Amino acid sequence: MAPPLIQLKDINLTFGGTPLLSGVELSVSSGERVCLIGRNGSGKSTLLKIAAGLVEPDGGSRFVQPGATIRYLPQEPDFGDHKTTLAYVEAGLGPGDDHYQARYLVEQLGLSGDEDPAHVSGGEARRAALARVLAPSPDILLLDEPTNHLDLPTIEWLEGELASRKCALVIISHDRRFLSNLSRSTAWLDRGQIRQIDRGFSAFEAWRDEVLAEEERDQHKLDRKIVNEEHWLRYGVSGRRKRNVKRLGNLHALRDQRRNYRGATGNANLAAAEAEKSGRLVIEAKNIAKTYGERKIVEGFSTRVQRGDRIGIVGPNGAGKTTLVHLLIGNDPPDSGTIRLGANIEMATLDQHRESLDPKSTLAEALTGGRGDHVMVGDKSKHVIGYMKDFLFAQEQRGTPLEALSGGERGRLMLARALAKPSNLLVLDEPTNDLDLETLDVLEEMLGDYEGTVILISHDRDFLDRVVTSVIAPEGSGRWIEYAGGYTDMLAQRGEDLSREAPKAAAPEEKKEAKAAAPAAAPKRRLNFNEKHALETLPKTMAKLQAEIAKQQKLLDDPDLYAKDRKKFDAASAAISKAQEELSAAEDRWLELEVLREEIEQA
């Protein structure tokens, strides 16, 4: 086995109370690819800073192979007094490093190099920080949430760039697809200690579940052993005093072991407060367009969103994803075309701009709106402490100012606020930002059980594949197309990834020829996955309902049924009434879809 480039031994760190890190060991050899996994607040970022030499632990040792170069990517880069992003990137180069490589990476990451670090967006700051750590080609890369604030094309570019390099990697990320594609071993930081396997992230979740199940079995055996020893102490026949004292000492040791056991942290209890059902049609957009200045954001887009649809919207930063959502939900009027919202729509939204909250307000005030100790969850009142615990906040955090919360905690707070409002339409802009893997799992389950409609913007490929039924993607020049299925299905149908360039502006001569020719047709509307499925299955459903009606009618045709068996008569009457109502709704839906299909084919 190759000697380690970096090795941490018996690392201990405590910030008051329970130890954050307790006897942690981590070793990384040349070319090794490690994903560092753990709950929000488990100490992953702190451990990475210790590995980078930026934080001194209370105890333990750090060894770095002489001559090995390390570069660390923090979650929040510090630009210092650098005047441009290129100057910031070049400041990270060492003696003998190629300055051309710095400029090349800046351009590859979509920056000019002239940006003022004091006025860049979160995505631009992350790109500059990535260029700074990649440019020197170090022996070890320590990356803390490298995909945060990046759009899908940049994430896929970064994935390919890291895969082509020979350096060792230690990665903290909530992007499961990114981790699965890059990691070869997994270090799980849990309750202050590390467990490690020589398999990538794709094997982690099954392994974690096995470990926790085994731990639960061991604790059950320990509990039974304590019960047996206590029973012996109370009722056993007394023997030699020396033996009794020893056995009593063993009982005390077992009790200490049980008392010091730190159980696994529970999962968040996410549940959306659901309003009454909306109408079958939620949103209908016909040939909508939106332009800012000379730039077309949306051009000729049409869609029909039905109750229960889960729509994902993807695309590069700046493509107009948020604008498209605002058009669809009626927050922003289109320049042309029509938007129609269905009946009985109750909407809850999650905005990606979490800084809109007052950073000086407390966690409890943000949840209650500054009114009392209770949160209205749907039409029910719940004490703020109980609601905080549902989202994995400790009781002691009630008075914590929002500015002191971590990124993951702010993400859970925004979810808690959005899900408390009764809704049948959830609009989520980047809901997965900063959430740990366990909370992501619970969020996926919640969205799967949600009876309403979901529209979400996300750069998380795995999350999209698990949640959505169709994906809307940009095609350039303001054109958007809806594809059935998840993100992977969209790529298969589209034939290219999202990094392909939009068509270039036509030359003046081409514009003149275009005026003489017929105008280009808008992207053709297609039936989405739910609509196709309904068209295929509704005829069978209607046939079953017709058979049920005939069956119940045959019973009611007996003129003596009421006198002979009143309960049977009432049951048959109720069943035929219900079946007729369902048949009518199914026929209306089928007719609506059939008309839509004919319109699409004739367009």
What residues form the annotated binding site?
38-45, 315-322
CB-based contact 166:32 (threshold 8 Å): no
Query: What's the rounded Cα separation, in Å, for the pair 188 and 193?
Result: 8
Percentages helix, strand, coil for the chain (3-state, rounded to 5) are 45, 20, 35
CB-based contact 139:167 (threshold 8 Å): yes
Type of residue numbered 146? P
Nearest to 203 by CA among 195, 192, 191, 215: 195
> How far is the first Cα of the chain from the last one, in angstroms, to the nearest whole number?
65
Q: Containing H/E element for 26?
A: strand 21-29
Residues placed in the known binding site for ATP: 38-45, 315-322
Residue with tokens 């887009």: 301
Type of residue numbered 359? P
DSSP secondary structure letter of residue 56: -
What is the SS3 string spanning 172-216? ECCCHHHHHHHCCEEEEEECCEEEEECCCHHHHHHHHHHHHHHHH
- Cβ-Cβ contacts under 8 Å for 267 (sequence gap 6 or more): 392, 438, 439, 441, 442
Query: What's the rounded Cα separation, in Å, for the pair 285 and 302?
Result: 5
Query: What's the rounded Cα separation, in Å, for the pair 357 and 421?
Result: 17
**What pairing do the DSSP bridges indicate for beta strands 310-313 and 185-190?**
unpaired
